[in-house]
């Protein structure tokens, strides 16, 4: 337990107190207030709380209903997206977005601009950005965000309305993610189209910024280790030979080594998170008093490298540790604490695991992933921003037919 300087938080809690920290109810350690207070987001607080609830409902919907279709859409999306990386300067104007938004919306240039901007917008005010300059900078970008967010919400909600008017929901065979929402809107009590428009935009935005950065870190991790790439490639070849190329739920379940590799890569790039506002004076089990009004957070960065929890070589990328301890990426555990725990755990677990596995599998199938461009390349550590990123920004993607891959 420590008291950091130059930080947005008053106290940082370490691994021995995680169980206690994670079990405290919202009435004592409030999880919502810090998100509203510390994150100078352009949208009003009350709208953001409703937006988060609606994001959770939509994520539940995508993970449960028409799951087969959701996986197929994401497979199609990443096939087109990944191939287009080498052909276009901006992948956001790519036809791949059609699998989520439908054919009308991808023709809207301004909507594509909104998605591009809101994706790169810094949402969290982290400890590295608390200077006065960062705050002024964020004021300007918040103004632009507001304008673009309004446009995005209007366009998506109008599309939802138009399609609802022109189709019978129960008989709808979904073509894209918007159709999946319309088909299931009654079951999930999704009636406020403005809110859905905004929440759907948030999901696209977070998928790209959170899952996108985890995927980028994973690819860099793999590029440094031919042995790990080979194991990943063997697993994909076995799956293709068993089921063919299309990815469905059964294939995702068989990607056991990929699951372990993603989990270990994410472990290494976890930021200190889970800010809580203390609602009443609280005495921890070691006698330390945390006064009412303090902001407390959990030191996930050190927890993720704790040798007693993760074993030897805890600073290294070793997927096998998850095969030995028989844990999966989707597990909600105090040891990994990837998704937090309790009432405020991430609502996007199923959605993100599926998305990351599909995207990573398509990369492995389409490219040999190495550092061959720089034979002396070394792991240069991590930079902490909104998310944690590798300092290394280069990797070598050599297009190949994985079934003819020559193992080295
Ligand atoms: C690998 C990717 C991701 C990881 C590791 C992750 C992790 C987390 C963690 C640790 C929390 C809890 C924070 C706390 O306790 O205060 C959280 C909350 C949340 N996450 Fe994720 N997340 C991921 C991807 C996503 C994506 C893609 C979305 C949206 C599409 C999303 C939406 C949310 C929301 C809305 C919350 C707030 C829940 C609440 O306060 O009730 N996450 N996430």
Return the closest-CA partner of residue 377 out of 362, 361, 390, 364: 390
According to the model, what pLDDT value does residue 92 have?
45
Instruction: Determine the distance separating the centroid of ligand 1 and the alpha carbon of 48, expressed in angstroms.
Output: 14
- Residue 2 falls within a domain, yes or no? no
Q: What's the domain count of the chain? A: 1
CATH number, domain of 82, equals: 1.10.630.10
Contact 358, 78 (CB under 8 A): yes
Instruction: Determine the distance separating the centroid of ligand 1 and the alpha carbon of 56, expressed in angstroms.
Output: 10
**Quick one: 220 exposed, middle or buried, by C-beta within 10 A (0-12, 13-18, 19+)?**
buried
Ligand 1, residue 355: give the atom nearest the CA.
27
Rounded percentage of the chain residues whose pLDDT exceeds 70: 88
- Residue 298 falls within a domain, yes or no? yes
User: What is the SS3 assignment for 114?
Assistant: helix
Query: Closest Cα to atom 7, ligand 1: which residue?
Result: 339
Q: 9-34 as b/e, with b when 16 or more CB fall inside 10 Å?
A: bebbbebebbeebbebeeebbbbbbb
Instruction: Determine the distance separating the centroid of ligand 1 and the alpha carbon of 171, expressed in angstroms.
Output: 33
Residues 179-229 pLDDT 10s: 889 988 888 888 899 999 999 988 988 888 889 899 999 999 999 999 999
- Ligand 1 environment, Cβ below 6 A: 31, 52, 55, 59, 203, 206-207, 210-211, 214, 266, 273-274, 338-340, 344, 346-348, 352
pTM, to two decimals: 0.91
Return the closest-CA partner of residue 370 out of 403, 406, 316, 404: 406
Neighbours of 285 (CB within 10 A): 9
- Residue 318 falls within a domain, yes or no? yes
Domain that holds residue 88: 11-404
Q: Give the pLDDT mean for 326-332.
A: 96
- Residue 3 falls within a domain, yes or no? no
Rounded CA gap, 40 and 303, in Å? 28
Rounded CA gap, 33 and 277, in Å? 6
- Residue 385 falls within a domain, yes or no? yes
Residues 46-83 pLDDT 10s: 888 899 999 999 999 988 887 888 888 888 888 877 77
Residue with tokens 């609280």, as numbered in its chain: 282
Instruction: Determine the distance separating the centroid of ligand 1 and the alpha carbon of 184, expressed in angstroms.
Output: 23
Rounded CA gap, 11 and 5, in Å? 10
- Residue 17 falls within a domain, yes or no? yes
- Residue 259 falls within a domain, yes or no? yes
Q: Give the pLDDT mean for 374-403.
A: 86
End-to-end CA distance of the chain: 47
Mutate to test the pocket of ligand 1, among 58, 346, 386 (most ligand atoms within 8 A of CB): 346
Ligand 1, residue 300: give the atom nearest the CA.
10
Mean pLDDT of the chain: 86
Residues 216-274 pLDDT 10s: 999 999 999 999 999 999 999 999 999 999 998 899 999 999 999 999 999 999 876 78
Query: Closest Cα to atom 15, ligand 1: which residue?
Result: 274
Rounded CA gap, 146 and 47, in Å? 13
Give the CA-trace dihedral at 217, 220, 221, 224, to 10 degrees: -170
Query: Closest Cα to atom 33, ligand 1: which residue?
Result: 346
Mutate to test the pocket of ligand 1, among 348, 351, 359, 389 (most ligand atoms within 8 A of CB): 348
Mutate to test the pocket of ligand 1, among 210, 349, 351 (most ligand atoms within 8 A of CB): 210
Instruction: Determine the distance separating the centroid of ligand 1 and the alpha carbon of 53, expressed in angstroms.
Output: 12
Return the closest-CA partner of residue 128 out of 408, 382, 374: 382
Instruction: Determine the distance separating the centroid of ligand 1 and the alpha carbon of 345, expressed in angstroms.
Output: 7
- Residue 295 falls within a domain, yes or no? yes
């Amino acid at each position: 337990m420590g008291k950091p300087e130059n930080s947005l938080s008053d106290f940082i809690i370490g691994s021995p107190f995680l169980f206690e920290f994670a079990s405290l109810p919202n009435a004592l350690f409030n999880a919502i207030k810090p998100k509203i207070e510390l994150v100078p987001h352009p949208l009003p607080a009350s709208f953001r709380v409703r937006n988060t609830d609606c994001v959770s409902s939509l994520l539940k919907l995508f993970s449960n209903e028409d799951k087969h279709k959701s996986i197929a859409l994401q497979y199609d999306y990443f096939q087109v997206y990944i191939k287009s990386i080498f052909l276009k300067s901006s992948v956001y104007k790519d036809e791949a977005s059609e699998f989520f938004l439908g054919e009308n919306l991808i023709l809207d240039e301004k909507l594509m601009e909104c998605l591009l901007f809101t994706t790169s917008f810094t949402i969290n005010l982290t400890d590295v950005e608390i200077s006065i300059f960062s705050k002024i900078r964020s004021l300007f970008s918040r103004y632009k965000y507001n304008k673009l967010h309004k446009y995005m919400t209007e366009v998506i909600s109008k599309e939802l309305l138009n399609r609802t008017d022109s189709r019978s929901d129960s008989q709808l065979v979904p073509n894209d993610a918007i159709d999946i929402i319309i088909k299931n809107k009654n079951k999930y009590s999704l009636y406020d189209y403005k809110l859905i428009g905004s929440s759907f935009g948030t999901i696209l935005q977070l998928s790209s910024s959170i899952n996108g950065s985890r995927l980028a870190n994973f690819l860099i991790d793999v590029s440094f280790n031919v042995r790990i790439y080979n194991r990943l490639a063997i697993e994909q070849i076995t799956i293709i030979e068993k089921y063919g190329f299309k990815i469905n739920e059964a294939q995702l379940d068989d990607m056991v080594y990929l699951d372990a590799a993603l989990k270990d890569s994410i472990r290494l790039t976890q930021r200190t998170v889970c800010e809580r506002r203390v609602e009443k004076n609280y005495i921890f089990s070691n006698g330390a008093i945390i006064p009412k009004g303090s902001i407390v957070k959990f030191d996930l960065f050190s927890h993720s490298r704790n040798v007693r929890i993760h074993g030897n070589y805890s600073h290294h990328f070793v997927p096998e540790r998850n095969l030995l301890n028989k844990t999966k990426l989707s597990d909600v555990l105090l040891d990994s604490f990837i998704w937090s725990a309790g009432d405020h755990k991430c609502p996007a677990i199923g959605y993100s695991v599926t998305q990351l596995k599909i995207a990573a599998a398509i990369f492995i199938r389409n490219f040999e992933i190495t550092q061959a461009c720089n034979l002396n390349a070394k792991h240069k550590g991590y930079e902490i921003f909104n998310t944690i990123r590798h300092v290394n920004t280069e990797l070598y993607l050599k297009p190949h037919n994985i079934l003819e891959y020559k193992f080295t």
